[in-house]
Amino acid sequence: MSTLITPHTDARMATIIEKVRGGERLNLEDGVYLYESNDLLTIGQLANEVNLRKNGNKVYFIENMSLYFTNVCESRCAFCNFRKDDGEEGAYTLSGPEMVQYVEQHMNPGVREFHIVGGHNDKVPFQYYVDSLQALHDRFPEVTLKAYTAAEIDFFTRISGLSIREVLEKLRAAGLKTLTGGGAEILSDQYRKKMRVDKANVEEYLEVHRTAHNLGMKTHTTMLYGSIESREDRIRHMLQIRELQDETNGFMVFIPLSMQPKNKNAGIMRRNSAYEDLKTIAVSRLMLDNFDHIKAYFINIGAQLTQVALNFGASDVHGTILKERISHAAGALTPEGLTRDELIWLVKGAGRIPVERDTFYNEIKVYE
């Protein structure tokens, strides 16, 4: 049994430590207490212990490429600076062949995954979204299509008149292998109303993933934190995701996304602190006992803090990405992507073992 870094732990923290080390599940009150505690080192060490039990010293990454077919969106979420109205300066909607051409010009050898998200463009039919995937799958059959958020899938049901299952089946026939995790924001309908998240509500988001899991798909899920939500809202978000994971075991990874300000010149007071980012990753690891992986997303928190996060419960650093747009449209100051060598350096610099993976966490190469 390892010794706690901070020896003067209070009784409540001691009880939580005992629960975690004994394999007992944490509850809402435990999670809120952890968020309100200033004992970051104990929380981080405990999360690190959990991660080491699950993954050892291995940290995962993938050679992937982010693609955005359209930024036209009917929704006007308060936090988004990526969306455009149809006809607005900077708005675009690429056809399948146009995206194939873009990929051919920018793709690196070794890319295993296309990460595809975009706007809810109601100016095109559902078939456009099917054909977009089909064009990529036909040209790059060896690359896994990780496409669309649960909110996008719900949007597709509205513009097509099809059920969630029918939408997913048509997309799978075109090459879809897994869903991205976005669109969750904070799983609170009150939050979604205040933040004008006029897309899939909480139950719709969860039902899309439930349906995908029941079809045999493994998916990803996120939490966008750092705006108006309370810490209790964050824990309730995690509990809803944990409950669905108990039911389906279909999630591969949980991705806490640190909210970015709309203005790249926004000062430090408009951004989440490193303290809050590390605590969120650690608390996620402790609450989500039925998840194998918690991701430290360098696009939002930076490469060096990502290294620290690998000792606070994170076991995944995402991938090479190649020109991320959504977080950077919202004011992210981080690189738009990293090379394989940079990701390997990042992980080794944290004292961990880099493991190149595929989309489904099958190991491709271990860099001892």
Numbered residues of the known binding site: 73, 77, 79-80, 185, 196
Cα–Cα distances in angstroms (integers) from residue 200 to residues 120, 147, 209, in the given order: 11, 17, 12
Tokens at 217, concatenated: 């798909």
Q: Shortest CA distance to 253 belongs to which of 308, 209, 214?
A: 209
CA distance 329 to 310: 26
| Binding-site entries for S-adenosyl-L-methionine | 79, 185, 196
* Number of residues that this document lists for the chain: 368
What is the chain's Cα-based Rg? 20
DSSP state of 292: S
**Residue 74: how many other CB atoms lie within 10 Å:** 17
Q: Are the beta carbons of 181 and 316 closer than 8 angstroms?
A: no
Q: Are the beta carbons of 171 and 157 closer than 8 angstroms?
A: no
- DSSP reduced 3-state for 260: coil
DSSP state of 78: T
| Binding-site entries for [4Fe-4S] cluster | 73, 77, 80
Residue with tokens 């409540």: 12
Residue with tokens 């435990």: 30
- DSSP reduced 3-state for 115: strand
